Amino acid sequence: MKRKIVMMVATVFAAFTMSGCTAMNLGVKFMGFDEKTQESYAAMMDVVDETGDPAQAMMKEWLITDDSLSEEDIFDEMKSLAGDHNMRFVGEKPMFRIKDPKPNQVSRARIGEFCSLGVAKKMLDHSRFYGGFMPCRIIYVEYGDGRRYLVSMDMTLALYGGTDVKPIDPGLMADMENVKTAMEKIPLKAAGYDTQADADKAMIKYYTEKGIKERLPVIKK
């Protein structure tokens, strides 16, 4: 409730401080969304406001801090975990490997693809535009300075970003929530963590020790 009040105040403030009818129209439309939809867009805009990066706002990432985990170990684990979440590992695409990269240059990138075919069909029946997200992907990214990440799409807006103009059937919503969980748990476990809080704390510790100036995760209490 407190967050909703804050968003209402922020929306009204934006409507009066931004120019023209566009801002007012945007505010009115935003307040017409249900609470979950408002929270989903507000969370995305928080990241855009802080980082200026819309791509980061639409993704989740897991920093790999366990040096004993090789790239192959990570992909083998993701393949194994897929079945635990009723997903199939449907392919992988090595993108590139660069010799002698600069510290902030991506030196390796490799994509793993996952799908639950039954759920995918239901999603396409609801909206063919979900096809642009398919199959679900997790990308392994390694930098010249040794940092390694798993990155996957944040499905929050895909589930909760719509309105009652095109409601998602409760059964399909439950299936999509299971896919969302899978695409968060698979990279979490493959990166060597048991909980998201563990992953967040590891990233904060690593960034602090290495002096890396990037957005830090917010640990929920």
Structural domains in the chain (count): 2
pLDDT tens digit string along 80-106? 999 999 999 999 999 999 999 999 999
CB-hemisphere CA count at 13 Å for 180? 15
The CATH number given to whatever domain includes residue 91 is 3.30.310.70
Instruction: Note the pTM of the prediction, 2 decimals.
Output: 0.85
Domain containing 194: what range?
59-210
The confidence score (pLDDT) of residue 23 equals: 55
Q: Is residue 102 domain-shared with residue 12, that is, in the same domain? A: no
Q: Is 44 helix (H, G, I), strand (E, B) or coil?
A: helix
Give domain status of residue 215, yes or no: no
Sign of CA dihedral 123, 129, 135, 139: negative
Q: Is residue 105 domain-shared with residue 190, that is, in the same domain? A: yes
Give domain status of residue 117, yes or no: yes
Q: Evaluate whether 144 touches 107 at the Cβ level (below 8 Å).
A: yes
Give domain status of residue 141, yes or no: yes
